[in-house]
Structure 1
Amino acid sequence: MAKIRVLVPELAEVARTELNEDAANRDALIVAFRTWINEQSYLEARTDDQFLVAFLRVCLWDLEMAKKRIVFFYNYKSKERGLLKSRLVDDKLLELARSGIFATLPNPIGPAGPRIHYTRMGHIETSKHSVTDIFRFHAFRSEIEINTDDNWNISGVVEIMDFTKIPYSLLLQFDASMFRRMNAFLEHGIPTNLVATHIVNASRETQFVLTVIRNVMKQKELLHIHPNVESLAKTIGKEYLPVELGGNNGSLNDAISRYETQLNSFASYFSEDERYGVDEKLREASEKEQRNTSLVSGVTGEDGSFRKMNFD
């Protein structure tokens, strides 16, 4: 029997009705996924049940889709060293955890609803934090959520970005190419779905950045812009906002403390993560071999003998 967390009934129903999760074949698919990973000479990946089920769920239990996603996930982390840098929990990461920029609110939008991330862009100090630093923190947080957060995995995530006093120098760091590279990991790598991005308190000066973001998003309807907190509260429900914004969903300071605790508790996990990835040369060799096998199988029978061919 698979060693995965038991879901609350409401979330289990979402997994069943929307993600095609079936207890009857769940364990067999996890085993098949693990077996396939172990057979790939070019891929070194985690294979514990909880990790694998996250990829299967976001791929609607389509094994072929899950294979592609986990390869993309590890290939990205192997190739994008410039964006992700070291996988170790270092002082820069802990500094960002303490900065007050990020918060994961304790209650999702209902028992079976998406997780809520809250980001205070105005807390970013561009003398200390770059866009790539912010992305790296997001990537680390996502990997923790793969292992700990079923709502995030099954029902997705709602991103709230408060643009109050956002540094103009930070906006200048954004460009379409960088955003596409970052967005690729969030869209095709990590096993969750973005439900919506809500931007609140955006000034006119930020409009060009929002235009860049909207232009590279496949689902432009996911981006919502609110002139104030009242508009945001009407959309997602005031009770789901942090207490600092008049809601009942925990305090931002508590969320900050949780990040530091989580990062430290996952320090050995991330240290071990250095050995996982994709060997591109071995992958190319493997794909070449598969293509050759496909060509041969097109003219041979299952037992390896040539099929009888009619040339008339």
Structure 2
Amino acid sequence: MAKLRELAPELADVARSELNEDAASRDAIIVAFRTWINEQNYLEARTDDQFLVAFLRFCLWDLEEAKKRIVFFYNYKSKERGLLKSRSVDDKLLELARSGIFATLPNPIGPGGPRIHYTRMGHIETSKHSVTDIFRFHAFRSEIEINTDDNWNIAGVVEIIDFTKIPYSLLLQFDPSLFKRMNAFLEHGIPTNLVATHIVNASRETQFVLTIIRNVMKQKELLHIHPNVESLQKAIGKEYLPVELGGDNGSLNDAMSRYEAQFNSFASYFIDDERFGVDEKLRAANEKEQQRNAQLVSGVTGEEGSFRKLNFD
């Protein structure tokens, strides 16, 4: 039997109704996923039940999709050393944890609802924190959430971003290619869904720019722009906001303390993480071998594509 955290009844209902989770087949799919990973000589990955189920849940228990996502996840971490730097919990990460920029609020939006992240852009000191530092923090926090937060994995996440006193020098660090590289990990690697992004306290000029951005987005409904806190309270529910915004959902100072404790408790996890990844040379060799096998099968049977039906991956 798979070793998984017990879900709150409301969250278990979401897993069944929206993610296709079936208790009767769950364990067998997890075993099949682990077996496939162990058979790939180019892939070194974590294979404990709780880690694997995060990818399966995100992929609606489609095993083939989960395989693709976990390969991307580890391939990205192997290739993007420049963005992720070392995988150890260092002083820079702990400094960001204590900075007050980020908060994960203690209560999700209802027992079966999404987790809430809160970001205060005005707390970013560009003399200390670069865009890549902030991305790295997000990547480390996400991996902790893979292992600890079922609401985040099953119901998704709501991002609240406070634009009060956003440093203009931070905006100057963004460029399209960098954004594309960072967004790839969030979109194709991390196993959670972004439910909504709420922007609050943006200047008129920033609101104008954000409105233009929303108009060209594929999923316009994900971006909400609020001129003030009162508008945000109506959209989210006052009780789900931190006390600093007139809510009842914990304080931002407490969130800082929780982050530092979490990062320190996962220090050995991230040191161990250095050994996981994708060997692209072995992967390329495997793909060539598969193509040769496909050609042989096609030549014998006269049926092109029968290699895919044999599922040798």
Q: TM-score range by the shorter chain?
A: over 0.9
Query: Alignment RMSD, CA only?
Result: 1.5
Q: Does the alignment pair 1:150 with 2:150?
A: yes
Distance (Å, rounded) in 2 between the aligned partners of 1:257 and 1:149 = 17
One-letter code aligned to 1:72: F
Q: After the TM superposition, list the runs of 4 or more consecutive aligned residues in structure 1 that deviate by more than 6 angstroms.
A: none
Rounded to whole Å, the distance in 2 between the matches of 1:208 and 1:33 is: 46
Alignment pair present for 1:110 and 2:110:
yes
When residues 210 and 282 of structure 1 are mapped into structure 2, their CA distance, relative to the original with a 3 A threshold, is: farther
Q: In the alignment, which residue of structure 2 is the partner of 1:123?
A: 123
Instruction: Specify the alignment match of 1:200 in structure 2.
Output: 200
CA distance in 1, matches of 2:48, 2:213: 35
Percent identity (aligned):
87
Q: Deviations over 1:147-188 (max 9, x none)?
A: 000000000000000000000000111122111111111111
**Once the two structures are superposed, what CA deviation does each residue of 1:194-243 show, in whole Å capped at 9, x if it has no partner?**
00011111114435864786588542321111101111111111110001
Contact residue 104 and residue 118 of structure 2 kept, 8 A: yes
Q: TM-score, normalised by structure 2?
A: 0.93
Question: What is residue 247 of structure 2 aligned with on the other side?
Answer: 247
Report the equivalent of 1:190.
190
Whole-angstrom CA distance in 1 between matches of 2:45 and 2:273: 9
Q: C-alpha distance in 2, partners of 1:216/1:200?
A: 20
Mapped partners of 2:212, 2:281: distance in 1: 35
Q: Secondary structure at the match of 2:299?
A: coil
Equivalent pairs, count: 301
CA contact (8 A) 1:175 1:212 kept: no
Name whichever of 166-175 and 288-297 sits farther off: 288-297
| 2:308 corresponds to | none
CA contact (8 A) 2:207 2:225 kept: no
- Tell me how far 1:74 sits from its aligned partner: 0.4
Amino acid across the alignment from 1:88: S
1:207–1:293 CA distance, 2 compared to 1 (3 A): farther
Structure-2 residue corresponding to 1:10: 10
Report the 3-state secondary structure (helix = DSSP H, G, I; strand = E; otherwise coil) of the residue aligned with 1:119. Answer: strand
Is the 1:180–1:216 Cα contact (8 Å) retained in structure 2? no
Unaligned runs of 5+ in 2: 302-313
Report the secondary structure of 1:3's partner residue: coil
User: Structure 1, unaligned stretches of length 5 or more?
Assistant: 302-312
Partner of 1:76: 76
Give the conservation status (yes or no) of the 8 Å contact 1:157–1:192: yes
**CA 1:43–1:95: 2 relative to 1, 3 Å:** same
Give the letter for the 2:7 counterpart: L
The 10-residue stretch of structure 1 (143-152 or 203-212) with the greater mean CA deviation from structure 2: 203-212
In 2, Cα distance between equivalents of 1:278 and 1:147:
21
- Aligned-pair distance for 1:92? 0.3
Is 1:295 the counterpart of 2:295? The answer is: yes
Report the secondary structure of 1:160's partner residue.
strand
Q: Could you tell me how far 1:69 is from its partner in structure 2?
A: 0.2
